[in-house]
């Protein structure tokens, strides 16, 4: 196949997930690292015509001013996420990318995130103004890099929950609200989505923020014949839940309670330390049990910021269930994973698969990506293996999902 | 549908799994307990015409002389497996079953198991004599109870591993060896299987012992137009492994090592304390990782007898894996389950499903039961969810698997 | 030694700890159970002239109307805390005690606890009226039972935190406030303490509530030549912390963070589900790390109500520490203990030791009891072994502590 | 105080513990790292006149030929034990030390360890010849470096257990056996001890090997007016056991079983993979429970070699105990520590304290060091806090222990 030039545009481009994604992409381009953790490198997907690492060029939006290279070094030394020598060898590429990162928007991101923003970030934009500014950045990137396809991926911090009842169901109606900030509850993640989709770019929401979830934004994607999906990358505790809960259901064991405590210390953790941001995340993590089991066990999910852990997400889950003859039993797990390293390869996988979807002419929701997300839009199946079968089926039979 | 009379014949009829199965069956007949833990009571199987608990009558073989009621009380009080009051209410039924339990055989069961046998158990039978004697017990049971279907289930202790290279591939050849004990390496579990299948009964091997695994015994089952399956009920740590390992594979995480330590204190544990018996079990538990992942991680499985734990199997598993950029991460789980309570409902499920297979006219290996076993005969799929889909498919489309 | 008649008066006399204490005491009187869990039955204390179980007679205060026997049965069947048959055999004794339980006070206990109270409990008493009424109940009990010594033990639910800055330092000043409810912030636990100490009874506060902590109440105890101690029985996670933290300190390992998550489902848990009550508890659990280590690690303690766990307190603690050359390491523990069963023997130990302190003529704070409490009044040592050495020293050398 | 020149002589000088000790010592000399993990840097020992890091000069024996620097780099990169940059900065010092490492002996070290030895290591020495050769190396080191004090520390791999019944109780008798290899069961660790003590050096046995344990070798130490102690540094699981077991005892909880599974992947682990070597270690780890509790719980200790873990010792301990009224409860811990990093600072502490003992004129067993060892010679106290109090007492009151 003729090679395309594909643009990756990261929202939150100097955050932990983005930084790790960029270190990884740079290292893959140079052949410095293997493909562990990359789903699209499984043998069963070897027949797919997926883009090569060399086909990608990267830019993004960010609200902080810290150099990308410093962030990469901090992950290497403070969190021991990867080897500092790897960062050094990718230095030139990382600096090149850093120069293409523009200032983002803090429209409706909540106090906690806004507090992290550089003073250069515009404080008083209407939604329309923010979208136009973002869109212009995307356009310049696409033109200057002569891109065949631009994919915008949201890996910024979790925004506070939004009351979506005020959002109208069609793009036509929503579009009218963009000039009336008081009437328009859209947060930054949705403004980026609109800017991207309106210009025909693809959009992926890797966070629990609102993003492209509203029906009106899906409407826009279909009108512009482009594609999108989300939300909230499934990397750790929830991945385990969606793997384990089906087993309890299929063995007819009665889950009385499922308690999950998560502790970690990266910037994501700092933002989630604010209850309004945390609420968005906990909702996304907590809903799947009822959907998988068919009933609602007593359930608790906590996420706490513990600085010393850095990027290492540690989760303790305690599952209390009843077996035959009503006897209570117990299953517990402890997960110690480096969050950014679990997220980054999925971001790269999603980009490769989204590009294939474009070449296959698919538009709207990319439901075949369900296994990558905690809250897959429009997908009722929450069991991991069955979600993964949706991906396998799509890989086998283009066009059918 | 017209009700059948179905006989359950348990090998090891006063062991922990059998005793719990019989307390449970008795309690289900009386409506004293719910259906938690019974796979065949899941809503998705509600359309199947499965036998009612009242359709079953029970007998069995056993090599020890302890009263069944005492064993049940011991599980209630020493292991806190279930409520002693439940046993009291099922006393009459348990005593009735106890009166139908015959003396088993200790042919080739190894020193450890033989040491548990009552002095009344015959010490010097040829394989042929043992089979004839067992067969006669089965025949008397079937006739006296006017059974439509007899299902023999092996829930006896794990026998030492057998060198199967000396077992010929056809029933015709194997049959000739039965009078030559020196040439015939078959252990008790296989003699029970032969006695059962030769008389048209169905046979289920819930243990890791040899049972009906030899091709020659499958040959016999097909000649007699009956059915069988095994081996080794998947109740705890291995159930978790077969649930979790596919996730590591599908996320392309590189499992470097998977260590599992099991401790428990029931009679099964006492028998496994002998290395020759333990070897059979560990082989059964250890093989699936390579089959699921496609490579062999460094793997260790230990099973240790710790008296104080009684029937409570506690397992600690430590999974050491590499994520993106080669960084090592860790997943651990702790399983605290009452072994007999996890096994008993599966035994009841297997019996109900085997009866349906008979009514559907199916013979030979019942591969649709793969999700119930650690080492399902003739099945390459070891991922739990996909095995369960085999059961769902069979339930939907009679005749096709 | 001549036997005394000793009265035990329990505040919260039908709660989980009290009920288990009374089942245990009744069973010990009848010789139905062993002495596991009782510190005063260790060989090293065999020389002490401690009262016999038969010397005790029990009464108490309670705000709920449920029969004691029902509470005992609920602990046996719902929480599997002990054997239901044991309760049955102690039925007569438990009913006898139940008849001696009077209505308590809900003065300043907070909304959560007040919501549990029977409608018969007085709603509008001044502190003085409550103390008088309680004191009268104690007096009648002591006289009717011809007691040599009355020991009041608070095992009621945790009250909300109190602003103690308004409490004057001497009994003379505090006494004046008792008629002025608006000026008197004392909660019920302190009113019980005053009523007890003012009549010469001993007082033990097994909960984190205020109780006898104010200096003015200690002043009263010394004026009346009686004794008291608290607070907050050390039974589970904090017991472990006070055992483990000294080791980290003595090895000069740098504890960066110590996270403890507690889940349980008894009434104590229900009350702690209210943040104002929980605050009192968390403070009591959280303070000792800094005192033991000499610096304040990042620390988090959560207590969550999970109904299915009943009386089984499950705690997960994650200790993140730095070793030599600055490398981070990790220690985790999981505690699964039946809370009432861990508390009850300590209550019995405290009563026996308090009686010995009376016979030794000791008054004021019984600091030798520090090892029993999370927040021992007037004791700076929080390491468990060194606290235990204080008890051993007291046992060896009467009068010196 | 006038500075002394102190020699450190490490047996197993390029093993994991030695290498980490030397990286650490070099880094401390240069002020590159802090004092975390060093017991002698606790404020409570600040008044002691302990040697400075600059006072030390290092040599040693080793049977393998790998460069020390490579071993250090391997620990940094494969095990992530410390930062590779630290090794680079200590390169010159490490190379200088490496040049002073002599060939050791493999006399009676067992097949596993002998298999690791370079072909240059003498294969057929009598005990006498080995001692003389070792002694000569020590003498040359002491003379060339003008040492005031030489301390030999055994940090070599664990030798197989020795039948000590054949070892006579006095040095005079033992000395006669040194020329009769068949009659002399002493392993290498004891030959090093003899060579050291005979020349007036101090000797520390940080491993579970025999070392200076025989009474005859203690006799030699006293004759030569020098000092020694061991054995088996207490760094991880056993440290926890000796911290936790006293609490179970002091609360009169009945420990029914204590199971400990250890997994790790360094060379120590490889050697322990041989059952004859493992036996020595397990004995050392397993004895203390009975001594602390006063009864023998059902106990199991396993140590397994899992390559992927490198130097990270992971231990899971499961403590099953009975509380009041006989109800079983459970405590579990998981320890994830970098073994060499836990051992190295203790080696440095032991050296500093041993030097102080010399200046105080103490000879024979240094029992005040008990808290550092799993099996402290001649000490019955196994509880960690009380052992630590022995050290504190010694530090406070010179001469008295």
Question: Which residues contact residue A46 at a Cβ distance below 8 angstroms, ignoring those fewer than 6 apart?
Answer: none
> B18 contacts in A (CB within 8 Å)?
none
Do residues A309 and A264 touch, judged by C-beta distance below 8 A?
yes
Task: Tally Cβ neighbours within 10 Å of residue D283.
Answer: 15
Q: pLDDT for B105-158, tens place per residue?
A: 999 999 989 999 999 999 889 999 999 999 999 999 999 999 999 999 999 999
pLDDT at C400 exceeding the cut of 50? no
Residue in chain C closest to B334 (alpha carbons) equals C334
How many Cβ contacts (< 8 angstroms) between chains B and D? 63
pLDDT tens track, chain A, 401 positions: 568 899 999 999 999 999 999 999 999 999 999 999 999 999 999 999 999 999 999 999 999 999 999 999 999 999 999 999 999 999 999 999 999 999 999 999 999 899 999 999 998 899 999 999 999 999 999 999 999 999 999 999 999 989 999 899 999 999 999 998 888 899 999 999 999 999 999 999 999 999 999 999 999 999 999 999 999 999 988 999 999 999 999 999 999 999 999 999 987 777 777 777 777 767 766 678 999 999 999 999 888 999 999 999 999 999 999 999 999 999 999 999 999 999 999 999 999 999 999 999 999 999 999 999 999 999 999 999 999 999 999 999 865 44
Residue bearing the bigger pLDDT, D297 or B269:
D297
User: D134 CB contacts (<8 Å, ≥6 apart)?
Assistant: D61, D104, D105, D191, D192, D195, D196
Give percent of chain C above pLDDT 90.
Answer: 84
Q: Is C253 at the interface with chain A, CB within 8 A?
A: no
Minimal-distance CA residue of chain C relative to D388: C250
At residue D7, the 3 state secondary structure works out as strand
Looking at the domain that runs over A6-233+341-396, which CATH code has it been given? Answer: 3.40.50.720
Query: Among D80, D84, D334, whose Cβ lies nearest the Cβ of A80?
Result: D80
Task: Compute how many other C-beta atoms are within 10 angstroms of the C-beta atom of residue B140.
Answer: 13
Query: Which D positions 343-362 lie with beta carbon below 8 A of chain C?
Result: 344-345
Average pLDDT over residues B172-189: 92
D246·C327 Cβ contact <8 A: no
Q: Could you count the other beta carbons within 10 Å of the beta carbon of residue B262?
A: 24
Q: Which residues of C touch D240 (CB under 8 A)?
A: 244, 247, 331
Contacts of D239 in chain C (CB under 8 A): 247, 251
Query: HEC states along chain B?
Result: CCCCCEEEEEECCCCHHHHHHHHHHHHHHCCCCCCCCCHHHCHHHCCCCCCCHHHEEEEEEECCCCCHHHHHHHHHHCCCCCCHHHHHHCHHHHHHHHCCEEECCCCCCHHHHHCCCCCCCCCCCCHHHHHHHHHHHHHHHHHHCCCCEEEEEECCCCCCCCCHHHCCCCHHHHHHHCCCHHHCCCCHHHHHHHHHHHCCCEEEECCCCCCCCCHHHHHHHHHCCCEEEECCECCCHHHHHHHHHHHHHHCCCEEEEEEEEEEECCHHHHHHCCHHHHHHHHHHHHCHHHHHHCCCCEEEEEEEECHHHCCEEEEEEEEEEECHHHCEEEEEEEEEEEHHHHHHHHHHHHHHHHHHHHHCCCCEECHHHHHHECCCCCCCCCCHHHHHHHHHHHHHCCCCC
Q: What stretches of D72-148 adopt beta strand conformation (E)? A: 101-103
Distances (CA, A) of A165 to A162, A168, B128, B195, D369: 9, 8, 77, 69, 70
| A23 part of contact set with chain B, CB < 8 Å | yes
Chain D residues near residue C244 by CB distance under 8 angstroms: 240, 243-244
Which of A206, A181, A202 has its CA nearest to residue A11? A206
Q: Do D239 and C246 count as a contact with CB atoms less than 8 A apart?
A: no
The SS3 of residue C167 is coil
Is pLDDT of D1 > 60? Answer: no
Q: How far apart are alpha carbons B13 and B20 in whole angstroms?
A: 10
B247 pLDDT more than 70: yes
Share the mean pLDDT of chain D: 93
Window 96-125 of D, Cβ < 8 Å to C: none
Which of C355, C335, C98 minimizes the C-alpha distance to C235?
A: C335
Of A24, A294, A324, the CB nearest to B324: A24
pLDDT at D179 over 60: yes
The burial class, CB within 10 Å (0-12 / 13-18 / 19+), for C47 is: exposed
B310 φ, ψ (degrees, to nearest 5): 55, -130
| N-to-C CA span, chain D | 23
Q: How many Å apart are CA D137 and CA D140, to the nearest integer?
A: 5
Query: What whole-number distance in Å separates Cα of residue D295 and Cα of residue D273?
Result: 30
The tens digit of pLDDT for each residue in C286-320 reads: 678 999 999 999 998 888 999 999 999 999 999 99
Is C334 near chain B, with CB under 8 Å? yes
Helix, strand or coil, per DSSP, at residue D232:
coil
The whole-number pLDDT of residue A266 equals 83
Express each pLDDT in D353-391 by its tens digit: 999 999 999 999 999 999 999 999 999 999 999 999 999
Choose the closest CB to C80 out of B80, B84, B334.
B80
Question: Which residues in chain D have Cβ-Cβ distances shorter than 8 Å to B320?
Answer: 306, 308-309
Please list the residues that pair with B332 across neighbouring strands: A334, B318
Contacts of D74 (CB under 8 A, 6+ apart): none
Q: How many CB atoms lie within 10 A of CB C7?
A: 25
Sort strands D254-264 and D298-305 into parallel, antiparallel or unpaired: parallel
Domain boundaries, chain A: 6-233+341-396, 237-338
* Distance from the Cα of residue C117 to its chain's centroid: 20
Q: Tell me what percent of chain C is helix, strand and coil, each rounded to the nearest 5.
A: 45, 20, 35
Give the span between the Cα atoms of C54 and D166, in whole angstroms.
58
Is B322 in Cβ contact with A385 (below 8 Å)?
no
Scan for tokens 């608790």, then name that residue: A300
Residues B40, B42, B44, B46: is their CA dihedral positive or negative?
A: positive
* D313–chain C nearest CA distance, Å: 10
Contact assignment for A243 to B240 by CB distance below 8 Å? no
Chain D CB within 8 Å of residue C46 CB: no
> What integer pLDDT is reported at residue C124 of this predicted model?
85
Phi, psi for A6 (deg, rounded to 5)? -115, 130
Tokens of C286: 């959280």
Name the phi and psi angles at C49, rounded to 5: -90, 80
Q: Report the SS3 class of residue D317.
A: strand
- Among 3.30.360.10, 3.30.450.20, 3.40.50.300, 3.40.50.1820, name the CATH number for the domain at A237-338: 3.30.360.10
Q: What is the mean pLDDT of chain C?
A: 93
Contacts of C36 in chain B (CB under 8 A): none
> What element of type H or E holds D62?
strand D56-62
Q: Assign D398 a pLDDT band (cuts: 50, 70, 90).
A: low
Residues A308, C328: C-beta atoms closer than 8 Å: yes
Going from the C-alpha of B64 to that of each of B103, B191, B271, the distances in angstroms are 8, 18, 14
Q: Which residues of C touch D86 (CB under 8 A)?
A: 325
Residue A334 forms contact with D (CB below 8 Å): yes
- Torsion-angle region of B161 (φ positive above 0: left; ψ -120 to 50: alpha; else: beta): beta
**d(C-alpha B399, C-alpha B361), whole Å:** 9
Shortest CA gap C115–chain B (Å): 34
Closest CB to D308 among B298, B306, B308: B298
Question: What pLDDT band is residue B401 in, cutting at 50, 70 and 90?
Answer: very low
Contact B109, B159 (CB under 8 A): yes
Look at the block and give the residue holding tokens 């906990």.
A282
- Cross-chain residue pair D341–C333, CB shorter than 8 Å: no
Q: Determine the Cα–Cα distance for residues C143 and C135; give it in Å rounded to an integer.
A: 12
* Cβ-based contacts of D387 with chain C (< 8 Å): none
CA-based nearest distance D256→chain B, Å: 6
How far apart are alpha carbons A372 and A235 in whole angstroms?
8
Burial of A89 (0-12, 13-18, 19+ CB in 10 A): middle
Taking the Cβ of residue A331 and every Cβ of chain C, the question of whether any pair is shorter than 8 Å is answered with no
B334 touches chain C (CB under 8 A): yes
ipTM of this complex? 0.94
Instruction: Please state, in angstroms and rounded to a whole number, the distance separating the CA atoms of residues A325 and C133.
Output: 49
Is pLDDT at D285 greater than 70 in this prediction?
no
What does the pLDDT read at residue C195?
Answer: 98
Interface residue C37 vs chain D (CB under 8 A)? yes
**What are the CA-CA distances from residue D123 to residues C39, D107, D120 (Å)?**
58, 8, 9
Q: What kind and span of H or E run contains C288? A: helix C288-293
B-chain residues near A295 (CB < 8 A): none
The residue that leads in pLDDT, C189 or C401, is C189
Interface test with B, best of D237, D261, D330, D333 (most B CBs within 10 A): D261
- Where b means 16+ CB within 10 Å and e means fewer, C315-340 reads bbbbbbbbbbbebbbbbbbbbbbbbb
* Residues contacting D195, CB < 8 A, separation 6+: D130, D131, D132, D134, D135, D138, D152
> Touching check for A80 and chain D: CB below 8 Å?
yes
Q: Which class is B237-337 in CATH?
A: alpha beta
């Amino acid at each position: 196949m003729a090679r395309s030039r594909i643009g990756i545009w990261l929202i939150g481009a100097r955050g932990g997930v983005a930084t790790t994604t960029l270190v990884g992409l740079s290292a893959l381009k140079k052949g410095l690292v293997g493909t562990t953790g990359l789903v699209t490198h499984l043998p069963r997907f070897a027949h797919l015509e997926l883009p090569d690492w060399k086909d990608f060029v990267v830019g993004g939006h960010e609200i902080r001013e810290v150099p990308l290279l410093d962030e990469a070094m901090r992950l290497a030394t403070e969190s021991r996420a990867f080897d500092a020598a790897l960062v050094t060898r990718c230095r030139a590429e990382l600096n090149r990318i850093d120069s293409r990162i523009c200032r983002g928007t803090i429209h409706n991101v909540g106090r906690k995130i806004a507090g992290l923003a550089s003073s250069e970030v515009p404080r008083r934009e209407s939604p329309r103004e923010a979208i136009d500014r973002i869109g212009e950045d995307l356009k310049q990137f696409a033109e200057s890099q002569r891109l065949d396809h631009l994919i915008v991926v949201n890996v910024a911090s979790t925004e506070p929950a939004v009351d979506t009842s005020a959002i109208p169901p069609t793009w036509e109606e929503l579009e009218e609200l963009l000039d009336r900030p008081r009437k328009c509850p859209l947060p930054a993640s949705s403004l980026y989505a609109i800017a991207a989709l309106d210009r025909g770019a693809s959009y992926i929401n890797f966070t629990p923020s609102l993003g492209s979830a509203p029906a009106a934004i899906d409407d826009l994607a279909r009108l512009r014949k482009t594609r999108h999906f989300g939300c909230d990358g499934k990397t750790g505790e929830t991945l385990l839940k969606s793997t384990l809960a089906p087993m309890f259901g299929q063995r007819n064991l009665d889950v009385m309670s499922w308690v999950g405590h998560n502790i970690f210390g990266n910037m994501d953790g700092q933002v989630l330390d604010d209850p309004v941001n945390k609420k968005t995340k906990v909702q996304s993590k907590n809903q799947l049990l009822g959907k998988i089991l068919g009933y609602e066990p007593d359930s608790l999910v906590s996420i706490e910021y513990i600085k010393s852990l850095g990027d290492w997400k540690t989760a303790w889950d305690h599952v209390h269930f009843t077996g035959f003859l009503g006897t209570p039993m117990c299953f517990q797990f402890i997960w110690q994973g480096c969050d950014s390293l679990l997220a980054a390869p999925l971001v790269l996988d999603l980009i490769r698969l989204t590009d294939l979807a474009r070449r296959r002419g698919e538009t709207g929701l990319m439901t075949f990506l369900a296994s990558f997300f905690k809250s897959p839009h429009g997908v009722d199946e929450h069991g991991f293996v069955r979600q993964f079968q949706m991906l396998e089926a799509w890989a086998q039979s283009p066009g059918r999902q």
